[in-house]
Amino acid sequence: MFIDIHVHPAFYEPINADAELEELRHETLDIHKNGTAPLEHIFNQMHCAGLDYLCLLPEDYRTQQGGKVLVSNEEIRTLVDMAPDKFIGFASVDPHDPEAAERLEHAFGELHLSGLKLHPGRQHFYPSDKEMEPLYEICEKYGKPIIFHSGLSWEPDTLTKYCRPDAFEELAASHPDLRICLAHFGWPWCREVAMLMLKYPNVYTDTGALYFDCAQEFYLQMLTKDVPMTWIDRSLRHQVMFGSNNPRFEQIRMTQAIEKLGFRESTLELIRGKNAIDFLGGLPEGRKAI
């Protein structure tokens, strides 16, 4: 079982019939020259990378984009329905939207999405803001996890101050039953993420970072030196999930690279998929543990 917990489907062909929206996606995400991808290509890519499931993450920045939603919860539901044996869908809401709580209720209650994705740096909020409490309570009510962007973001109009790992401690401490993922290993503050995971078992991370060098070189630095491999292999092995942040970063070479770092096979099994299943609270109904 190999799950990519961090995939942005903004350029999947079935949700890109509108050229204007596609252009907005290129500009907002600052990802260019990649075109759109038919699902057959996505499946080929998954096959080459050895991936069984992709967690698809939407982006809702509507209060900053004139009410437009970059990738909507409904589009994620559409994609999941097109390939329920391969896709797991997350929700997104804009915390500054007065209707955010109702939209999240709809995403979990009606659309049956599997978790919430938030980007404090792009959506300009601190994870400990009191205004966030209703969203956290809804996640707790439904038993759904939250993936937070943490660390550097390449997207324009992002401020890193909102997503430094230590900004999440208050949330982790005050909501011990809420599973949260500080994505991208909080790069470059990987040791702060390690500190939080050591202290708070409800804190997870993913490996969706490749800001320098090739996948093998970057992972060697981040996952064996910045954070010594023994820390992950011995102490944090139940809290690290594979994530690619595709299409920003490449899935195939990242999945290959993680296999070569020297982790115990049992640790690799956790990183590949078992931790993601725990984080999700189990695979969605009807999905098989391959």
Partner 1 sequence: MMYMESISLLTKKYNEYTVITQQVRDILPRSGIKNGMITVVTKHTTTGITVNEALECLESDIEVFLGRLIPEDYPYSHARMLRDYGSTAGNPTGHLKAMLTGNHCHFPVVDGEIVMGGAQEIYFCEFDGPAHRTINVAIQGE
| Chain contacts with partner 1 (rule: CB under 8 A) | 29-35, 37-38, 40-41, 44-45, 47-48, 154, 210-217, 247-250, 252-253
End-to-end CA distance of the chain: 5
Instruction: Report in angstroms how near the CB of residue 193 gets to partner 1 at its nearest.
Output: 20
Closer to partner 1 by Cβ: residue 127 or 208: 208
Instruction: Report in angstroms how near the CB of residue 182 gets to partner 1 at its nearest.
Output: 21
Instruction: Report in angstroms how near the CB of residue 85 gets to partner 1 at its nearest.
Output: 18
Instruction: Report in angstroms how near the CB of residue 77 gets to partner 1 at its nearest.
Output: 25
45-50: Cβ within 8 A, 24+ apart: 45/251, 45/252, 46/86, 46/251, 48/252, 49/2, 49/4, 49/251, 49/252, 49/254, 49/255, 49/256, 50/2, 50/255
Tracing tokens 């509108």 back to the chain, one arrives at: 18
Single-letter amino acid code for the residue at 62: R
Instruction: Report in angstroms how near the CB of residue 290 gets to partner 1 at its nearest.
Output: 20
146: β partners: 116, 180
Tracing tokens 């820390």 back to the chain, one arrives at: 231
Closer to partner 1 by Cβ: residue 248 or 287: 248
Q: Which element (helix H / strand E) includes 241?
A: strand 240-241
Closer to partner 1 by Cβ: residue 33 or 130: 33
Instruction: Report in angstroms how near the CB of residue 81 gets to partner 1 at its nearest.
Output: 22
**Exposed/middle/buried for 277, CB within 10 Å: 0-12, 13-18, 19+?**
middle
Single-letter amino acid code for the residue at 229: M
